[in-house]
Amino acid sequence: MKSNRSSHPGPAAGLEALASSLKHILHERAMKPGVKALLRMNKPGGFDCPGCAWPDPKNYSITEFCENGVKAIAAETTGKRITKEFFEKYTVADLLQKDGYWLEQQGRLTEPMRYNPKTDKYEPITWEKAFYTIGQEIQRMEHPNEAVFYTSGRTSNEAAFLYQLFGRELGTNNFPDCSNMCHESSGVAMTEAVGVGKGTVSLDDFEEAEAIFIFGQNPGTNHPRMLTVLERARKRGCQILSFNPLRERGLESFIHPQHIVETLLNKGSAISTHYYQPLVGGDFAVLKGLLKAIFEASKKNRYQLDQDFISAHTVGVDELKADIAQTLWEDIVQQSGLTQEQIVEAAEVYLRSSKTIVCWAMGLTQSKHAVITIQQIVNLLLLKGNIGKPGAGLCPVRGHSNVQGDRTMGIVENPSESFLEALENVFDIVAPRQRGYNTVDAIRAMNAHKVKVFIGMGGNFVSATPDTSFTEDAIKKCELTAYISTKLNRSHLVTGHQAFILPCLGRTEIDLQNKVPQKVTVEDSMSMVHTSEGINKPASEYLLSEPSIVACMAIACLPNTKIDWAGLVSDYDRIRDKIEKVLPAFENFNERLKQPGGFYLGNAAREKRWNTFTGKANFITAPLPMLSRKPGQLRLMTIRSHDQYNTTIYGMDDRYRGVKGERKVIFLNESDMRKKNIESGDVLNIFSLASDGIRRMAKGFKAIPYNIPEGCAAAYFPEANVLVPLNSVADKSHTPTSKFIEIEIEKDDRQGIDE
Ligand code: SF4
């Protein structure tokens, strides 16, 4: 394993990405609708990729998508259908034996289904009957907080706005969402430090940046079009510094599949100029080290820092300087897993650059010290005035196409007073003020029998959440669960006493209201709001749109509603007119959507307006925690494979990491394997160690030697989520610590992987 690079021989993307894309389209029997959809994806007048939230360039190409965008479209435009005959054939108990990949492979849901506990099977039900039954159950609740409304980041702005309006007219703020498990830590950190919970950069800034730092992110799989931007930046001399415990191929070498010559010659472009592999959980120490090196360098020349910006726009620099001065290099080196030389080298790149962007993803957000770690990124950028200037800024890269938009629409358990007041004024309702449940709270409440009704708008709750066994038991305590979905997944099989599957239209499908095609809108990682309009015939005549399902459910649940739900969904422009009234940033909403590519929502910090408790940008710091590791213990991080999108499993391969046809694998450092007398391919059981004293186990994982620091390991979610204790969350953001799980491994003496 000696070489210091990832195990994949060739560059990322290129011919392999083209071949894989074609394979998925063919495999899903989606050639015609799939290709038709791809040619309209991520373009004005077309629809938005239901994959990640990477923005669309103004000068888009005819094929403005990546391999994983193709997988998402193939999965949605698949020719396979799940009909009532399918559910007659399988009991829920049968289906629970199937893995996520098999369930995903069964095709699109086609009609509303209701679970029959007597037969343990789902049976067809009419929409009217389904809404009536759900309505009766909600009306039977003793308190509105007995209902939970979960949202996955694929939900459009219009559906999300109606969904929160429904819940708030009902009287609850129980709006857990997938953001709770991903960038919540980013939102909390940035709001405290610079007064806004969203990234401050635009796509154009990447064309000007002189240095781009990337922490805890694997764009090659999770935001592939970002590689196009990084390749261009690298070619014009921008320094690209990657910090990731794992060597990720996309951060090393990349071929843009539309560059025919390079693709045919399999000639990759280098991406990272510097690649550092800190320990799992070592980023806080790395960033403190960068700050220390920068302060030490600025002693020789104080103008290496932007003194004017610091004095005009920030507070707390002296406290930061004092904290960093008393943080010892030996602690930084020990806690980060990097050498002082490496950190100083990276700091020198930062100091030479006058325009720096810092990108990050789950590698930073899903650990106990996530919030304070991300605030060190803010500190780093503030020292050189790299917020609010072209070519520089904060860039949390969102993993779900509209996760940022949903939050903007009010999908949050603790909405602002101004938002609730605006809602009350516009809709003449009384909005609840009691803080609602985030994802972890909702699971605890379900376990405590405090939740009667769980509604899931998209997503795969039981697979996305931590502590799988506990979470599944908690869900089963609900009186009723209902999921608004396009495809079958495990969450449909872990049911409340009553359960419904409510199949909805996909992003690629035409949404007719009163025979008029409707547009929805999404907001990407960089606060661009644009339309998405389906182009394909729906997969079934019985599908309803997300907004329609919410409106029908609200009408059934709120007999005294004051809101014209039917009117709102008869023409989505009306929903947007209401959004505009509640959210001033959406002024002239429908009008501005006519601009090709949509419009920018704005970002106060980008304009150096600091909506913080000090009215300035805050330098925030805290002592470096001295994390220790007992002998034999490892730090596990959960990851996605290249054939996976969030909890959706498109395939069983992970090409860039050399894995084929399996998912129950654990990536280990070779010397750790030697110390434990583990051979490549040995089957292991993984145990997590938690403060609640429960020894959680994941059985039958195959050992794979990989380029990862000693003492660290990685395994795929959702398979490894059973190891993440529910109570193990990030400070302040309550995000599950899926990227820092303390484990022990032992050989599985049965030597067989049980699927
Ligand atoms: S980069 Fe993200 S948004 Fe773009 S096509 Fe790929 S998955 Fe879709």
pLDDT in tens, 321-377: 999 999 999 999 999 999 999 999 999 999 999 999 999 999 999 999 999 999 999
- Kindly state if the Cβ of 223 falls inside 6 Å of ligand 1: yes
- Kindly state if the Cβ of 397 falls inside 6 Å of ligand 1: no
Q: Ligand 1 test: best mutation among 21, 48, 52, most atoms within 8 Å of CB?
A: 52
Residue 4 per-residue DSSP state: S
C-alpha 570 – ligand 1 centre gap (Å): 30
Among all chains, which residue has been given the structure tokens 């694929």?
A: 154
Q: Indicate the helix (H) or strand (E) that contains 520.
A: strand 520-523
- Kindly state if the Cβ of 50 falls inside 6 Å of ligand 1: no
pLDDT at residue 750, rounded to an integer: 62
Q: Ligand 1 test: best mutation among 38, 43, 65, 650, most atoms within 8 Å of CB?
A: 65
Report the distance separating Cα 104 and Cα 177, nearest Å. Answer: 22
- Kindly state if the Cβ of 187 falls inside 6 Å of ligand 1: no
C-alpha 522 – ligand 1 centre gap (Å): 14
Residue nearest to atom 3 of ligand 1 (CA): 52
Helix (H, G, I), strand (E, B) or coil at 60: coil
* CA-wise closest residue to 324 among 355, 295, 360, 283: 295
Radius of gyration for the chain, computed over Cα atoms and rounded to the nearest angstrom: 25
Residues of the chain with CATH 2.40.40.20: 634-747
C-alpha 750 – ligand 1 centre gap (Å): 41
- Kindly state if the Cβ of 51 falls inside 6 Å of ligand 1: yes
Helix (H, G, I), strand (E, B) or coil at 674: helix
Bridge partner list, 513? 516
Q: Are 75 and 28 in contact (CB under 8 A)?
A: yes
pLDDT at residue 755, rounded to an integer: 43
pLDDT at residue 753, rounded to an integer: 45
- Kindly state if the Cβ of 54 falls inside 6 Å of ligand 1: yes
Report the distance separating Cα 608 and Cα 428, nearest Å. Answer: 36
- Kindly state if the Cβ of 70 falls inside 6 Å of ligand 1: no
C-alpha 75 – ligand 1 centre gap (Å): 14
Residues of the chain with CATH 3.40.50.740: 81-179+402-600
Q: Ligand 1 test: best mutation among 38, 43, 47, 49, most atoms within 8 Å of CB?
A: 49
- Kindly state if the Cβ of 250 falls inside 6 Å of ligand 1: no
C-alpha 297 – ligand 1 centre gap (Å): 40
- Kindly state if the Cβ of 739 falls inside 6 Å of ligand 1: no
Residues of the chain with pLDDT under 70: 1-5, 750-755
Report the distance separating Cα 536 and Cα 539, nearest Å. Answer: 9
C-alpha 16 – ligand 1 centre gap (Å): 17
pLDDT at residue 420, rounded to an integer: 98
C-alpha 251 – ligand 1 centre gap (Å): 16
- Kindly state if the Cβ of 220 falls inside 6 Å of ligand 1: no
**CATH class of the domain whose range is 184-396:** alpha beta
Residues with Cβ within 8 Å of residue 331, at least 6 apart in sequence: 285, 624, 626
Report the distance separating Cα 275 and Cα 243, nearest Å. Answer: 6
pLDDT at residue 303, rounded to an integer: 86
pLDDT at residue 4, rounded to an integer: 58
C-alpha 41 – ligand 1 centre gap (Å): 10
Helices 14-27 & 67-76 angle (0-180, nearest 10): 0
Query: What does each C-alpha distance from 90 to 83, 405, 475 come to in angstroms?
Result: 12, 37, 21
- Kindly state if the Cβ of 363 falls inside 6 Å of ligand 1: no
> Residues in the chain, how many?
755
C-alpha 226 – ligand 1 centre gap (Å): 9
Strands 356-360 and 211-215: parallel
- Kindly state if the Cβ of 211 falls inside 6 Å of ligand 1: no
Bridge partner list, 121? 116
C-alpha 198 – ligand 1 centre gap (Å): 19
C-alpha 662 – ligand 1 centre gap (Å): 24
C-alpha 107 – ligand 1 centre gap (Å): 21
Residues of the chain with CATH 3.40.228.10: 184-396
Task: Assign a CATH topology to domain 81-179+402-600.
Answer: Rossmann fold (3.40.50)
Report the distance separating Cα 364 and Cα 378, nearest Å. Answer: 13
Amino acid at 231: E
- Kindly state if the Cβ of 65 falls inside 6 Å of ligand 1: yes
- Kindly state if the Cβ of 90 falls inside 6 Å of ligand 1: no
Q: Which two tokens stand for residue 387?
A: 């917020």
- Kindly state if the Cβ of 228 falls inside 6 Å of ligand 1: no
Q: Are 388 and 605 in contact (CB under 8 A)?
A: yes
Residue 679 per-residue DSSP state: -
Q: Which two tokens stand for residue 546?
A: 């997300």
How would CATH label the architecture of 634-747?
A: Beta Barrel (2.40)
Residues with Cβ within 8 Å of residue 115, at least 6 apart in sequence: 92, 121, 122, 123, 495, 498, 499, 500
C-alpha 703 – ligand 1 centre gap (Å): 31
- Kindly state if the Cβ of 399 falls inside 6 Å of ligand 1: no
Q: Which atom of ligand 1 approaches the CA of 52 most closely?
A: 2
Q: Which two tokens stand for residue 368?
A: 């106990």
Q: Ligand 1 test: best mutation among 64, 66, 76, 526, most atoms within 8 Å of CB?
A: 66
Q: Which two tokens stand for residue 306?
A: 């932007």
Q: Which atom of ligand 1 approaches the CA of 67 most closely?
A: 6
Q: Which atom of ligand 1 approaches the CA of 224 most closely?
A: 1
Q: Ligand 1 test: best mutation among 39, 41, 47, 54, most atoms within 8 Å of CB?
A: 54
* 298-305 long-range Cβ contacts below 8 angstroms, 24+ apart: 304/351, 304/384, 305/383, 305/384
C-alpha 85 – ligand 1 centre gap (Å): 34
C-alpha 221 – ligand 1 centre gap (Å): 10
pLDDT at residue 302, rounded to an integer: 84
Q: Which atom of ligand 1 approaches the CA of 645 most closely?
A: 7
Q: Indicate the helix (H) or strand (E) that contains 555.
A: helix 546-557
Report the distance separating Cα 69 and Cα 225, nearest Å. Answer: 9
- Kindly state if the Cβ of 286 falls inside 6 Å of ligand 1: no
Query: What does each C-alpha distance from 227 to 199, 277, 644, 690 come to in angstroms?
Result: 18, 19, 18, 37
Q: Indicate the helix (H) or strand (E) that contains 276.
A: strand 274-276
Report the distance separating Cα 190 and Cα 372, nearest Å. Answer: 10
Q: Ligand 1 test: best mutation among 48, 223, 642, most atoms within 8 Å of CB?
A: 223
Q: What is the pLDDT of residues 670-681, one digit of tens each?
A: 999 999 999 999
Q: Which atom of ligand 1 approaches the CA of 70 most closely?
A: 5
